Chains A and B, each alone.
Chain A
Amino acid sequence: MNFYTSFLVVFALLAICVPFILLFGFTGALARRSRIAPFRWFGLAYTSMVRGIPDIIFFLFVPIALDQGIEYLRHHAKCSEWTEPIRQGNDFVVCAAAKMPLGPSPQWVHETYGFFLAALAFAIVFGAFAANTLHGALAAVPKNQLETAAAFGMSRKQTFWRIHLPQMWVYALPGLSNLWMILIKATPLLFLLGVEDIVYWARELGGSKTERFAYPHGDWRLGYFLVLLVFYLLLSWVSEKVFARLNFRVSKGQAMIGDQV
């Protein structure tokens, strides 16, 4: 049963991540276009870091770093009388009140907290990819459109919200659909972050002897992983179809080469 519900975990991750990815993506893209230099540098650093560094390093780094960062802040806020240093040799020690989540809270709170940290790591990495795409799309909107808007006397804000942004989507869609494909294929990495997702259950249930039980059957992991393979193939096949239709919808009324498809 857990195996089937774990499929929902994958969808939950996708559903939670997408809004944040778009948010981070927009922030990054706008920062890159900002007229204020430090914002621009930040945007550039954010969007180019994913090109140089493997995403898996972020997935391993961000949850621990966030966890420790939050505990560090809470420690300072709640236990100011605590005098011992937080880093004692190879240990990270904070007072009990600063533990996140609190020590005695039930198991599901711990799991949910871990899941959200993982989701945030996903959002940060893919937000950077999205920022790249959106930046390119914003730059691809023909200049004449913006100049026309200015000629009509629209303010910068109006031009952006009414002309620039709506037109950008056509150019962003191929990149975003590509990103979605990459995101789908990155979801099994959740397993590395300790979330009990489909990979975890495939290993648990498929193995003849695991940490928890000794099953009476032989090694079924190959079969379970084949099921996962088919699941992902179906998922990406369906997404491809949906994006093809969406692309057709969005590019209506636009004279582009893509029309002939």
Chain B
Amino acid sequence: MSCMQTISDYGLRALGLGERALPRADITLCEQVVLIGSGLIWNIYFAVIALCFGFFLASSVAFARNSSNPLVWRPAAFFIFVIRGSPLFIQFFLLYEAFVLLPKIGIDINLIFVEITVETRWLTRAWLGATIVLFLNTTAYTAQIFYGALRSVPKGEIEAGKAIGMTTKQINKRIIWPTMLRLSWASYTNEAIFLLHATALVFFSSFPAWRQQGDALYFASYFADKTFNPFVPYPIIAGYFIALTLIVIIIFGWFNRRLNRHISKNH
């Protein structure tokens, strides 16, 4: 089987397209590279969705954490503490078990709302359930980073905003929020890289890979099991992740330049 053939058979295997059966015997290098690469689609999907949604919720949570109203900042602080204080791995397990129990509860309470049970069914699937876990996780970590930056926004800038007659909302939106992003961007880049790496955990933490549509690490460990040779699949996936990390660094670097474009280059 030529390598082009393998690519068309397995290129989108992680999405369930192409050949159903995974290679079992006489596994070629090409098959390993293609299948692990196709699993990478899931890693990118998890990371992009979680980061995009997490960014906006984290901004709100950071502002909530900074609020002077105890009813607002206490829940925010508690949320950050629980997520940051516990391992992501345990969060995966915990929420998966909770999601598994959900439909039963839904049925027990009222049988009339069949729609609810149908919807909760998706939560046990990795594409939704794991995304929710990753989303909550990155929200808490990012909120903490943003909160730290929020507290170091120079007072002078806020006073200047007040002096030219901006409303509180305008100050928040035009002064505090951009400055907060600017100050925290380096740490946020780190968090994004960590989240990208955390996506490799999804299919190892009770979320089952439905019809063997797993992520890159799922396929890599599948090959390591089948060939009993870890020296091929793991370096392949390592290479993929290094490339992804570099892409993240480049994209975030671009945003960083944009955020800092008003600062003189000498600093």
Chain B residue numbers with a CB within 8 Å of A232 are 85-87, 90
Q: Please, what's the 1-or-0 string for A39-55, where 1 marks a CB less than 8 Å from any CB in chain B? A: 00000000000011111
Q: Please, what's the 1-or-0 string for A215-236, where 1 marks a CB less than 8 Å from any CB in chain B? A: 0000101100110110011001
The reply on A56 being an interface residue by CB < 8 A is yes
B89 touches A199 (CB 8 A): yes
The reply on A84 being an interface residue by CB < 8 A is no
B201 touches A52 (CB 8 A): no
Chain A residue numbers with a CB within 8 Å of B82 are 229, 233
The reply on B238 being an interface residue by CB < 8 A is yes
Q: Which residue of A lies closest to B238 (CB)?
A: A53
Known: A52-B246, A199-B90, A233-B86. A219 touches B228 (CB 8 A): no
Which of A60-68, A105-113, A169-177, A245-253 lies at the interface with chain B?
A60-68
The reply on A136 being an interface residue by CB < 8 A is no
A225 touches B93 (CB 8 A): yes
The 9 nearest A-B residue pairs measured at CB: A54-B197, A52-B242, A185-B87, A61-B234, A225-B94, A236-B85, A188-B89, A222-B97, A64-B230
Which residues of chain A in 16-62 are interfacial with respect to chain B, using CB atoms and an 8 Å cutoff? Answer: 51-57, 60-61
Q: Shortest distance in angstroms between A227's beta carbon and chain B's nearest beta carbon?
A: 10
B204 touches A56 (CB 8 A): yes
Q: Shortest distance in angstroms between B103's beta carbon and chain A's nearest beta carbon?
A: 13
Q: Shortest distance in angstroms between A40's beta carbon and chain B's nearest beta carbon?
A: 20
The reply on B221 being an interface residue by CB < 8 A is yes
The reply on A186 being an interface residue by CB < 8 A is yes
B101 touches A229 (CB 8 A): no
The reply on A92 being an interface residue by CB < 8 A is yes
Q: Shortest distance in angstroms between B216's beta carbon and chain A's nearest beta carbon?
A: 9
Which residues of B line the A interface, CB within 8 A? 25, 27, 81-82, 84-91, 93-94, 97-98, 100-101, 193, 196-198, 200-201, 204, 217, 220-221, 224, 226-231, 234, 237-238, 241-242, 245-246
Total inter-chain residue pairs, C-beta < 8 Å: 110
Known: A51-B193, A52-B241, A222-B94. A57 touches B220 (CB 8 A): yes
With A and B bound together, what is the CA distance between A217 and B75 in angstroms? Answer: 34
Q: Which residue of B lies closest to A232 (CB)?
A: B86
B241 touches A54 (CB 8 A): yes
B94 touches A185 (CB 8 A): no
With A and B bound together, what is the CA distance between A236 and B90 in angstroms? Answer: 14
Chain B residue numbers with a CB within 8 Å of A68 are 230
With A and B bound together, what is the CA distance between A123 and B229 in angstroms? Answer: 23
With A and B bound together, what is the CA distance between A54 and B217 in angstroms? Answer: 10
B230 touches A61 (CB 8 A): yes
A87 touches B241 (CB 8 A): no
Known: A52-B242, A61-B234, A68-B230. A229 touches B221 (CB 8 A): no
With A and B bound together, what is the CA distance between A57 and B221 in angstroms? Answer: 9
Known: A52-B242, A61-B230, A222-B101. A187 touches B224 (CB 8 A): no
A sample of 22 cross-chain residue pairs with beta-carbon separation below 8 angstroms, ordered by A number, consists of A51-B193, A53-B197, A53-B238, A56-B204, A57-B217, A57-B238, A60-B220, A60-B221, A60-B230, A61-B230, A64-B230, A90-B227, A91-B228, A185-B86, A186-B87, A188-B89, A189-B89, A191-B89, A219-B100, A221-B93, A222-B98, A233-B85
Chain A residue numbers with a CB within 8 Å of B245 are 51-53
Q: Shortest distance in angstroms between A184's beta carbon and chain B's nearest beta carbon?
A: 8
The reply on A11 being an interface residue by CB < 8 A is no
With A and B bound together, what is the CA distance between A56 and B199 in angstroms? Answer: 10
Chain A residue numbers with a CB within 8 Å of B27 are 90
The reply on A192 being an interface residue by CB < 8 A is yes
With A and B bound together, what is the CA distance between A141 and B19 in angstroms? Answer: 59
Chain A residue numbers with a CB within 8 Å of B227 are 90
Q: Shortest distance in angstroms between B124's beta carbon and chain A's nearest beta carbon?
A: 13
Q: Which of B84, B230, B242 contacts A53 (CB 8 A)?
A: B242
Q: Please, what's the 1-or-0 string for A181-209, where 1 marks a CB less than 8 Å from any CB in chain B? A: 00011111101100000010011001000
Chain A residue numbers with a CB within 8 Å of B231 are 65
With A and B bound together, what is the CA distance between A89 and B27 in angstroms? Answer: 10
With A and B bound together, what is the CA distance between A192 and B221 in angstroms? Answer: 11
Chain A residue numbers with a CB within 8 Å of B100 are 219
The reply on A82 being an interface residue by CB < 8 A is no
Q: Which of A54, A199, A219, A228 contacts B198 (CB 8 A)?
A: A54
Chain A residue numbers with a CB within 8 Å of B217 are 54, 56-57, 60
With A and B bound together, what is the CA distance between A187 and B101 in angstroms? Answer: 26
Chain B residue numbers with a CB within 8 Å of A65 are 230-231, 234
Chain B residue numbers with a CB within 8 Å of A233 are 81-82, 85-86
Q: Shortest distance in angstroms between B54's beta carbon and chain A's nearest beta carbon?
A: 18
Chain B residue numbers with a CB within 8 Å of A51 are 193, 245
Chain B residue numbers with a CB within 8 Å of A184 are 87
Chain B residue numbers with a CB within 8 Å of A222 are 94, 97-98, 101
Other than the given A55-B197, A199-B93, 14 more pairs (CB < 8 A) read A51-B245, A52-B242, A54-B197, A54-B201, A54-B217, A57-B200, A57-B237, A60-B230, A90-B227, A199-B90, A203-B93, A221-B93, A233-B82, A237-B85
